[in-house]
Amino acid sequence: MMFDVEQVRGRARSEFLSKLALCYLQEAQSLMSVSREKAVPLFRKAIETYLDAELIAHMNKDMDPTETLNWLQRAVFIFLRYLRDDMAEFLGVLDALVTRKHDISLETAQLLTDAMQQLHISSDPRIRAKLAGLSRRTAGRLERAAKGDLKFSGLKHIADMLTKTANALST
C-alpha cells in the first residue's frame, strides 16, 4: 500500500490542531468563573484552531471532517452559553475569519450560523441596534473578503445570515 505523504501530513496536522484546540478549550473552561478577560480569548483561540483543523480535514480527501466538526460545535456552544446574550464577542470570532484569508466549508458555516440563531437577544433597543451594527460590519467585511468568488461559499453564507440578522434586529 502506497502512502501519500501530503495526506499523512494533513491528517497529522489536523489531529494536532484538534488536540491543541481542546487544550485551549479546557483552559478557557477552567478560567470561566475566575477571569472573563482571560477565558474569552482562549475560547476564541480554541474555535479558530478547530476551524483550521476542520479546513485541513475538509481538504484532505481521505479524511472525514465530521469528528472535528463535532468538537468545533461543542466549543462554539460552550462559548455561546458562557457569553449568554453578548453576541458581540462571538461576532469577533466571525470577524477574524477575514484575517485568516481562507474560506471555511459550507458545513462549518452552517454550524456557526445555526449556533448563532439559538442565541437569546435582548429586547433592549440599544443592545439590538448595537448588535445590528456589529452584524452589518462583520457581514460587510466577510463579503469583501469573499468578493463574489464561489470558492468562498462558507464566508458568503455567514455574511448572508449576518445581514438577515441585522435586518431583523433593526425592525
Enumerate the domain spans of the chain.
1-83, 85-171
- Give the H/E segment covering residue 40: helix 36-59
pLDDT digits (tens, 9 = 90+) for 20-32: 999 999 999 999 9
Q: Which residues contact 2 (CB under 8 A, 6 or more apart)?
A: none
Query: For the chain, what is the mean pLDDT?
Result: 87
Q: Which amino acid is at 90?
A: F
Q: Tell me the mean pLDDT in the region 55-70.
A: 87
The answer on pLDDT for 149 being more than 70 is no
Residue carrying C-alpha cell 468562498: 152
Contact (Cβ atoms closer than 8 angstroms) between residue 51 and residue 94: no
Sign of dihedral through CA atoms 151, 154, 155, 160? Answer: positive
Contact (Cβ atoms closer than 8 angstroms) between residue 154 and residue 113: no
Strand, helix or coil for residue 4: coil
- pTM (predicted TM-score): 0.87
* Nearest alpha-carbon partner for 18 in 39, 58, 37, 5: 58
Contact (Cβ atoms closer than 8 angstroms) between residue 54 and residue 72: yes
* Polymer length of the chain: 171
CA 61, distance to chain mean position in Å, is: 22
pLDDT digits (tens, 9 = 90+) for 87-126: 888 888 888 888 877 788 899 999 999 998 888 788 888 8
The answer on pLDDT for 5 being more than 50 is no
Contact (Cβ atoms closer than 8 angstroms) between residue 107 and residue 65: yes
Q: Which amino acid is at 95?
A: D
